[in-house]
Structure formats: C-alpha cells, structure tokens
Structure 1
C-alpha cells in the first residue's frame, strides 16, 4: 500500500554481500526490480536496459537492486552471461517474501514450447520505488513477462516527481 511500510527484504547478492532494504540510505528512493529469473529472455533485455541507465538512476539519488527466486548458481550465471556489471543482483527471493510484496507466483512447466526450462516456482515481475523511510512510493506488478514499465519512462517520471515533490498515490 503506498505510503505504508513495505515488507522486509534481505537477500544475498552475487558480489557476496547481504543486501537489506532496512540498511539502505538512498538520497531519494530505492528501486527494487523483481525479475522472473535466468530462464526469462525478456528479463535479460530488461535488466540490460537497467544496467545501461544505472548512472541516470544514481544521478537522481536512486539505489537499485534486481532480485529473483533463482539460486546462487543461476544468479551468478545470469550476472556473467547477461553482462550485468554494476547492478546489485540479488538471489534466493523466497516465494513467501515475493507474495508479501504482492508479486504473482507461477508454476514452472519444465521445458516449455518456446524452448525455455522454467523452475518449479518463480515470481513474476514487479518494480517498486521505496522511500528512504521504508514506505512504498510506487509499484508496478505484472502477471506476465510482457509490457513492463520502461526504465527511460521511469526516469522521466522520477524527474517530474522530484521537481514537483509529487506525493505517492493509491493509498486511499
């Protein structure tokens, strides 16, 4: 719920650290990007766009994490193969934590008709902007991998939000 505290989030990252939302001290926001996992080719392009725009988010005072339910080995392979240098990439998001954040959960189908090997369970995409006080500012939650908010559009929205001190919406 916007303007209310988000659930706790603590995940291991591929750089070997523990990323805890409660420990973050961004100037303006923390951007949490939940992605489906290594099996998702749409996620690959999406996260590569995010990496390209990381300096723009940093310039606006936004700390960034991408996270999935993948295990450590899959996350490390994802980070290396997708060339996600500079992106805090978390792994091991529990299904319960994903649900607490409002993410949809899918049952994997093993080998799919499009040649993708899906895990048994995984979360669908979500994008969350969290204020430094731990309250939700903005959420975009998907049931499918398609038609996610583009990061260039998110940056434009952030420019407006910052310039106008625009309040969070959807809290009523």
Structure 2
C-alpha cells in the first residue's frame, strides 16, 4: 500500500453526500485546493467541535479558493443525525466512506469499544489536495486529538498561495 504523498496524485475518493449526489475527488475543480476532512463519526464529541469550527471558517476557506468537504464511515442515517444535532447546515457532509478508501488514504482504523461506536471507523485525517489533484498536505491521526488548528490553517493557505510555497515531504 502506498500512502498519499505530497506532489503525487491523490488516491481515488468517491462517496455519497447527504444532498443525494455522489462526490468524486477527480471531478473537483477548485481555484486552489480541496480540503478533505475525514472524521470519526457521530459518536465523537471532538469531531463535533472540529466540524463546527470548520463550518464557521467555510467563508474564509471559500474566499481563498478552497472547497471543503467532510466525510466519515458513518451510515447515511448517522450522518444525518450528525448534521442535525451538530447544526452543520452549511458544511458539505459525505457518508459511507469504505474501509478500502480509508486504507487507500492511510487512515488509521479503530474497532468500536463503547456504546454508540460503529464496529469499525476511521480515525481523523485532513488533506489539502491541489487543483491538479495532487496531495499538497496531509495530517493523519491515530486518535481524535492532535488535529491541525483550523484558524491557523486558513493563514497557512494564505501563505501557500501568496508565496507560491511548494508542497513538502515528498521524500520518503
């Protein structure tokens, strides 16, 4: 298995949206980047806070030419509950991420051990994919904490764009 590497084509990624459409990374045409946030699912209170903050920052990302999407391995029903209970009316939410797709993106997988947790779910990941569909940045977590701080990530996007800063970390 090859992990997603900066400056290399991103793995394939397709899933369903709560709006009823299918989402396919290869079909995205952002001005600069697509920001993909993989979250654990309805059972995760830290995901709730993270996605609410992401939703609050949507206008800032969008004004910088960054399209934002969040997805989990949750079922459609669980994703709809997340949207409602977490008040995520503006954030585009996907559901039904497959285990294969999670592995293709090198996400950590966990087994549910508490009530309300699915049998298997992915741990968090955040990827910035450029407008040529290549990996620019990745952050993969094995637990729900330690994710990139989103307000500073907006500033990082400003710097990346203004300085034409190259993707880094391509040497394994």
TM-score normalized by the length of structure 2? 0.95
The residue that corresponds to 2:91 in the other structure is 87
Question: Match of 2:62, SS?
Answer: helix
Aligned 1:58-137 pairs, distance under 5 A: 58-111=62-115, 117-137=116-136
Structure 2 unmatched ranges of 5 or more: none
The residue that corresponds to 1:30 in the other structure is 34
The residue that corresponds to 1:148 in the other structure is 147
Name the CA distance, whole Å, in 1 between partners of 2:151 and 2:114.
Answer: 33
Instruction: Provide, for residues 85-117 of structure 1, a one-character-per-residue CA deviation record: whole Å limited to 9, x for no partner.
Output: 111100000111001001000011132xxxxx2
Structure 1 unmatched ranges of 5 or more: 112-116
Instruction: Provide, for residues 44-81 of structure 1, a one-character-per-residue CA deviation record: whole Å limited to 9, x for no partner.
Output: 00000000000000000000100000000000111111
Name the CA distance, whole Å, in 1 between partners of 2:130 and 2:146.
Answer: 25
Question: Match of 1:133, SS?
Answer: coil
Name the CA distance, whole Å, in 2 between partners of 1:3 and 1:23.
Answer: 19
Q: CA deviation at 1:156?
A: 0.9
Name the CA distance, whole Å, in 1 between partners of 2:163 and 2:103.
Answer: 32
Question: Match of 1:44, SS?
Answer: helix
Q: CA deviation at 1:150?
A: 1.3
How many pairs align? 167
Question: Match of 1:106, SS?
Answer: strand
Question: Match of 2:89, SS?
Answer: coil
TM-score normalized by the length of structure 1? 0.95
Question: Match of 2:97, SS?
Answer: coil
The residue that corresponds to 2:24 in the other structure is 20
Name the CA distance, whole Å, in 2 between partners of 1:165 and 1:28.
Answer: 11
Question: Match of 2:94, SS?
Answer: strand
Name the CA distance, whole Å, in 1 between partners of 2:10 and 2:147.
Answer: 21
The residue that corresponds to 1:165 in the other structure is 164
Name the CA distance, whole Å, in 1 between partners of 2:126 and 2:35.
Answer: 7
Name the CA distance, whole Å, in 2 between partners of 1:109 and 1:49.
Answer: 27
